[in-house]
A and B are shown apart, each in its own frame.
Chain A
Amino acid sequence: MYRYDEFDAEFVRQRVAQFRDQVGRRLSGELTEDEFKPLRLMNGVYLQLHAYMLRIAVPYGTLSSRQLRKLAHIARVYDRGTGHFTTRQNLQFNWPRLSDIPAILDELADVEMHAIQTSGNCIRNVTADHFAGAAADEVADPRPYAEIIRQWSSLHPEFSFLPRKFKVAVTAAEKDRAAIQVHDIGLHLKRLADGRLGFAVYVGGGQGRTPIIAKLIRDDLPEEDLLSYLEAVLRVYNLYGRRDNIYKARIKILVHEIGAAVFTAQVEEEWQRIRDGALKLPAAEIERINAYFAPPAFERRPAKAALRAPDRAFDRWVTRNTHAHKHPGYAIVTISLKPIGGIPGDASAGQMDAIADLAQRYSFDEVRVTHEQNLVLPHVRLGDLWDVYQALSAIGLAEANAGLVTDIIACPGLDYCALANARSIPIAQRISERLAGRQDDIGDLKIKISGCINACGHHHVGHIGILGVEKRGEEHYQLLLGGSGAEDAALASITGPGFGPDGIVDAVETVVDTYLELRSGPEEPFLAAYGRLGAAPFKEALYA
């Protein structure tokens, strides 16, 4: 993974000093809240319902054990012993004191981490496939490009006051595990016709109030043109994105309103002017960054598992939570942060420490955060899976439910978030408890829950999506079906009238029962069955 050199370290130190100065000026009153707010947002400091919230950047979801231990330490010393992994591969603390935040940022800088640009109207954390560098189906590791973009976008003087936030995701496989088509810019790393590496560039995807699937605006961007092309896109957006209405300010609205063709023409015109300028990516630089992501020293013939008594729970876990690795003898392990009835994406300081130990011992010191609020140990020898499983069981994180109906994504919702209309976590908990007993039979089924229209729970791309709203002062939930954030990107459709907090859990069970009844067999997963059957039988079951 990327390692800071002196420049990177000094940059973060200066940024922390700058923010410390800004916090001091806020606490003394020299800065008003109105003036301070965009500054604190550029450092990931939100004011939530109950307290501040600090969102820490985990670039493309990659962490070392040392970094994860530091996060655990910060949770203990400065927060309340716990943290939450988000749908953008970041980590959130829910109770930091504003006056402590400069000290927290200092601690993060010690391990090459920061909270720069995790909020605000700027370019946010660049996310990537959480199986990058390990999955067999990727063309190349997308993370070097995510790192290049991360650097270029850090405190970019032209793009720090955009109309609205800006999110970029990168993937390198045909299977899209980074949901690139619902990002402001989605990049698909691939081989171009001449065999060199390049990108398909998607622009204008997003969820929220107006969910839109991104448009492919260029299918064959050579890798050396990556930054100049992005700069052209951002410049067009910065100049022409709407600023009159925050709900119409994302790039997706601009692309929608002027049309992809006009938008693309403007980008291409600007890009032609700058493409051979200072931002052309030298091959040497790509190689230099690539070197940080070189594969670890895999054993040629890793030891196999020792013989032991059969254990069905372990077998289920291996089947469900491990994924094929490109190197023989290894597996990619998903650590589900969705214990049955638990809070999706949360981990205690103790659990973080334990996982850090596992990463160091069994996964070449690397752990990943997924946009589905789970963690991943990317490089585990098959022979070590049993020990890893035992260790995860000891900390209550061995639920074999990756991708199952209880592997629910839920935003923090009204329990934490000042923007929310309804709580999402208790809904996730109750659905999980209700359906846990049947989860293996139900199979692949992604439920995503958002507590408000901002869609941080990604409900628009859930196979089952739930949107919390406020109706006559009480919590109310809309049900949507048939969405997907993968390469078959699609927006879920609302079923009909909404449900109360009890009703929505029943409704989800009704949908599941209908699926089980009507599927052609266990080999037909929910999304496929829904595609075949259409919404009608589900609506009938829900509203008859």
Chain B
Amino acid sequence: MLDGASPSPRKRGEGRGEGQPHTPAQAPAPHPSPLPVEEWGEGIDGPIWKDGAFHHDTWVSVADGEALPEAPAILPKKRWLAERDTLGQRDAPLGLRLEPGEAIADIGADLQRFALIALSFPKFRDGRAFSTARLLREKYRYPGELRAVGDVLSDLIPFMRRVGFDTLQVTHAPTRRALIEGRIAEVSLHYQPAGIVEPPAGTRPWLRRSRR
């Protein structure tokens, strides 16, 4: 199982990733993308899109029951709540993973301890993490790395950027290609302020344009 792949149990036949069937029929069908699905692992570009390139993931997602490694480790919220009092001596950075629907109000004071917070998009239609990202940035002033994980697709990426995500974990092959080739089609003008600082676009109060 890929690091950081969606933790929510996927029904057979649903979801994305190499070899997952993607049609409504029961018969296995090839992945709809006509080009070969990239594999990653040792020596190949990793799944983390950051600063214009793909990188290996330096973080480890800690599974249930697994001991914390001596490496940057991402904990689900439940694990954090159970162990937070014992993690004070830890040297390696800590990360937090939040599923949509998990509150942050009860861990608001803890957020500064995380060098990374990963927000999950179990299905691209579930847009809760967009609001969570903005709250983390704007209400809690979270300064660390905000990462989008899960069903991260081309057409969501401009929105993710605008609400404050720094990095993306991308496993969808056409999206990876589009990122590498600089082909994410987006609208660079915006009618509203969002989470990040954007230069104004004209004199009307809320118009913004993308930074790049």
Contact = CB atoms under 8 A, between A and B. Distances in A.
Interface stretch (B58-66, B107-115, B129-137): B129-137
B153 A35 contact: yes
A153 B190 CA distance: 10
Interface string A229-259: 0000001001100010000000000000000
B126 A31 contact: no
Interface in B150-201: 153, 155-156, 158-160, 162-163, 174, 183, 185-194, 201
Contact of A7 (B134, B139, B207): B207
B185 A17 contact: yes
A39 interface: yes
Contact of B189 (A10, A32, A156): A10
Interface in B30-52: 32-34
A7 B193 contact: no
Given A31-B174, A35-B153, A285-B205, A157 B193 contact: no
Given A152-B191, A160-B159, A30 B130 contact: no
Contacts of B138: 274
A121 interface: yes
B56 to A, nearest CB: 26
B79 interface: no
Nearest to B22: A32
Contact of A238 (B127, B159, B189): B127
A243 B126 CA distance: 8
Given A21-B185, A158-B163, A279 B206 contact: yes
Interface string A44-67: 000000000000000000000000
B127 A29 contact: no
A238 B128 contact: yes
Nearest to A17: B185
B102 to A, nearest CB: 11
Nearest to B160: A157
A99 interface: no
Given A39-B155, A157-B159, A158-B134, A14 B189 contact: yes
Contacts of B159: 157-158, 160
A11 interface: yes
A273 B139 contact: yes
Contacts of A15: 187
Contacts of B194: 156-158
A7 B202 contact: yes
A157 B158 contact: yes
Contacts of B100: 243
Nearest to A241: B128
B204 interface: yes
A291 B201 CA distance: 21
B192 A152 contact: yes
Interface string A216-238: 00000000000000000001001
B22 A34 contact: yes
Residue of B138, B162, B191 most packed against chain A (CB within 10 A): B191
B187 A11 contact: yes
B212 interface: no
A288 B202 CA distance: 14
B139 A151 contact: no
B205 A22 contact: no
Given A157-B162, A158-B130, A238-B130, A32 B32 contact: yes
Interface string A23-44: 0010011111011001100000
B90 interface: no
Interface residues of B, number: 43
A324 to B, nearest CB: 36
B125 interface: yes
Interface in B81-135: 100, 124-128, 130-132, 134-135
A238 B126 CA distance: 9
Contacts of B191: 11, 151-156
Contacts of B204: 7, 285, 288
Contacts of A154: 191-192
B130 A161 contact: yes
Given A21-B185, A22-B155, A30-B174, A38 B131 contact: no
A30 B34 contact: yes
Residue of A158, A161, A162, A288 most packed against chain B (CB within 10 A): A158
B34 A29 contact: yes
A278 interface: yes
Contact of A121 (B125, B160, B192, B201): B125
Contacts of A28: 34
B171 to A, nearest CB: 14
Given A14-B189, A17-B185, A155-B191, A7 B155 contact: no
A278 B206 CA distance: 8
A316 B72 CA distance: 80
Nearest to B121: A161
Contacts of B160: 157
A302 interface: no
A238 B131 contact: yes
B205 A282 contact: yes
A18 interface: yes
B131 A235 contact: yes
B128 A239 contact: yes
Interface in A256-284: 273-274, 278-279, 281-282
Given A151-B191, A279-B193, A161 B174 contact: no
Contacts of B193: 278-279
Nearest to B188: A14
A161 B124 contact: yes
Interface in A145-202: 151-162
A157 B163 contact: yes
Given A14-B189, A157-B158, 9 more contacts: A152-B191, A153-B191, A155-B190, A157-B160, A157-B194, A158-B159, A235-B131, A273-B139, A278-B193
The 9 closest A-B pairs by CB, nearest first: A161-B127, A157-B159, A21-B185, A157-B162, A14-B187, A278-B193, A18-B185, A32-B32, A158-B130
22 contacts: A7-B201, A11-B189, A29-B32, A29-B33, A30-B34, A32-B22, A39-B155, A121-B125, A121-B127, A151-B206, A153-B191, A155-B187, A157-B130, A157-B190, A159-B130, A160-B127, A161-B125, A235-B131, A243-B100, A243-B126, A285-B204, A288-B204
